[in-house]
Homo-oligomer: A and B are copies of this chain.
Amino acid sequence: MECGALEAKFRELKARLAEVDDLRAAASVLGWDQQTYMPPGGAEGRSRQMATLSRLAHEKFTDPAVGHLLDDLRPYEESLPYDSDEAALIRVARRDYLKLTRVPASLVAEVIGHQGLSYQTWTEARPANDFARVRPLLEKTLDYSRQFSSFFPDFEHIADPLIDLHDEGMTVATVRPLFDALRPELVSLVEAIAGQPPVDLSPVYGHFPQDRQLAFGLEIIGDYGFDFNRGRQDLTHHPFMTKFSLGDVRITTRVREDDLTDALFSTLHEAGHAMYEQGIHPDLEGTLLADGASSAVHESQSRLWENLVGRSRPFWEHYYPRLQALFPEQLGAVSLDAFYRAVNNVRRSLIRTDADEVTYNLHVMLRFDLEVALLEGKLEVRHLPEAWNDRYRSDLGIVPPDDRDGVLQDVHWFSGLIGGMFQGYTLGNILSAQFFEAATTAHPEILTEIGQGRFSTLHGWLKENLYRHGRKFTTHELVQRVTGGPISVEPYLRYLKTKYGELYGVEV
């Protein structure tokens, strides 16, 4: 085929994908509205509208004409540099196309119906502490998850196609060694900390009026580099980030007036996700590449800005006086040291989403292992609560008093497939330290700047090395490009051991 003809085909592919992107963006706007401003009466119509948009986006993407274009464009792709926008778009679109077309549409529809029922039942079974009620549904979910994997026989492990949905290129074989290296170290660290006197949390509890909490969060993320011309923050029940275009990336938060940390750190977290999306190169707009590389890389940015920056000592040296000025009655007499300890408190607890930096990954890794065991057939759903509790005992030293705060606590398995849902959280933490170390190695002044409330060197480095690429590279490729080596838990362990070793006066 001639070059001109190939370029015409590429333009056609882009136009078709842009249409899919518009439909997905519209569905995202409807989803955002549903969670922020929609009156209760709008629920029924809204779910109908979102279903129509999703169905149309799916139909447009899985149109056989797209498959033919992707086939025809193979020589074009091969003629271009691997890291060119064009080759990357064809490569990523082909992967997505395969993922969407391999599984029969009838099965997809069946699974979506099942997930709706499963989610609905879970919302009732969790408060009722009734695992037996969701058990048959979860068994069916597991069955669907295994069926799903069976359509991708080219993967090595049954969990791999599911992991690949969220973290392209990651597999059980690449994740497990990382987790196996991390877990024992964390268990020891948590044990050592548990032997120390508990931290005084009273500085962060009290009465903190909503408007001042929100203003403080907005001030910080403005300093971070969140672009309010291309984004905004609204209130919701569960904080999230969503993107409608590179010019419109929104975050949400919730405020607990009796707890200073909830809105603040969720704001820093979601802003990290948002700055990643805002930093994608404008040339990728309207294509599949205008998105994060993976769950793990996305999470690395939310955790970097939330924890490595936002819970660091230099950060609070700069911002604590401002916070005290906002809440003089509550914090006027609290020292920086006491406050810094309170926002970095480590405590064995039952609920993943409430967990601190050190224990958090133990919650995540046990879920990953349970998912894999279920998929492998080594664990049956009926033994899941027991297996859950056993792992809490061995990894965290505590046992849930009931399934409500045990195996029923996360929505993931009751609203999606089993597999691939959790590894991204811990991989994200691992990567956050790896990227941060690379940034501070290249620019040691970053640490000083954080202590001055200045973030442009760090933000600039992240944009240049990570954000602008969008989805052009996989997690592995990005880490290799940025650090010159593979994914490694060492920087993360160094970070945790140094910070918490000092904080708690323990040696690990």
Contact = CB atoms under 8 A, between A and B. Distances in A.
B286 A41 contact: no
Contacts of A285: 45
Interface in A230-263: 230-232, 234, 244-248
Contacts of A228: 39
A244 B37 contact: no
A30 B30 CA distance: 8
A42 interface: yes
A234 B234 CA distance: 14
B41 A25 contact: no
Interface in A19-33: 19, 22-23, 25-27, 29-30, 33
Contacts of A49: 22, 25-26, 29, 244-245
A41 B229 CA distance: 6
A39 to B, nearest CB: 5
Interface in A272-291: 285-286
A246 B43 CA distance: 11
Contacts of A197: none
Interface in A450-472: none
Interface string A1-43: 0000000000000000011001101110110010001111111
A43 B232 contact: no
Q: Counting chain B CB atoms within 10 Å of each CB, which of A37, A42, A53 scores highest?
A: A42
A245 B42 contact: yes
Interface residues of A, number: 39
Interface of A is mostly: helix
Given A26-B26, A37-B234, A246 B45 contact: yes
Contacts of A210: none
Contacts of A231: 39, 41
B30 A45 contact: no
A44 interface: yes
A109 to B, nearest CB: 16
Contacts of A30: 26, 29
A56 interface: yes
A494 interface: no
Contact of A248 (B26, B42, B248): B42
A247 B42 CA distance: 5
Contacts of A40: 229-230
B46 A248 contact: yes
Given A30-B29, A234-B37, A244 B42 contact: yes
Contact of A232 (B19, B39, B48, B244): B39
21 contacts: A18-B48, A22-B52, A26-B26, A26-B29, A26-B52, A26-B53, A29-B30, A37-B232, A38-B248, A39-B228, A39-B247, A39-B248, A41-B227, A41-B248, A42-B247, A42-B248, A43-B247, A45-B244, A46-B248, A48-B286, A49-B245
Given A37-B232, A38-B248, A39-B232, 8 more contacts: A22-B48, A22-B49, A29-B49, A37-B234, A39-B231, A40-B230, A42-B244, A45-B286
